[in-house]
Amino acid sequence: MEKRILGLDPGLAILGFGAITYKTSPTQIQGTTVNTLDFGVISTSADMEVGQRLCILFDDLHTLIDNIQPDLVAIEKLFFYRMSSTILVAQARGVLMLVLAQHNLPYVEFTPAQIKQALTGYGNADKAEVQEAVARELDLEQIPKPDDAADALAVALAASFQL
């Protein structure tokens, strides 16, 4: 059985995405393999009106989902920094949820602490520890850049650990 998992790190300025394949095989000693399919970011410019930025996210998420064709989407839950940025992230997250509903895609959500716990065994791990775990789990020679893409891969990996 092979599943495609799309991890998303919501944001208005930068929305990180990371797609992995999770494959189980009863004939392999290890039983499962996880590989990187794609990762990157969807960016919008702060010079643009918020509505235009949300339209870019809407269109680009549709294209991303059409290209990746995930079986499951994993999303990082909203984490409160400053109220002004939280509202913008929540608006971007609303667009994301709408696109997932339009594609009838199942999703799971994880808090930052749950993602850290899943990848490092420690819910208060720092960003570098999580990024190193992503590179190790996906057998990558270097940590994925930018950070938002590495974070999205971490979300996808957290979901794969529950399969």
Cα separation, 82 vs 138, in Å, equals: 33
CB 160 within 8 A of CB 13: no
Give the three-state DSSP class for 40: strand
CB 5 within 8 A of CB 20: yes
The token duo for 148 is: 């938002």
Active-site position among 76, 126, 129, 151? 76
Q: Is 71 annotated in the active site?
A: no
Active-site position among 2, 9, 59, 126? 9
Q: Which of 129, 141, 50, 33 is nearest to 89 (CA)?
A: 50
CB 137 within 8 A of CB 130: no
Dihedral of alpha carbons 79, 102, 68, 5, sign: positive
Active-site position among 109, 147, 148, 151? 148
The token duo for 48 is: 């643009």
Q: Is 76 annotated in the active site?
A: yes
Q: Is 148 annotated in the active site?
A: yes
Catalytic residues: 9, 76, 148
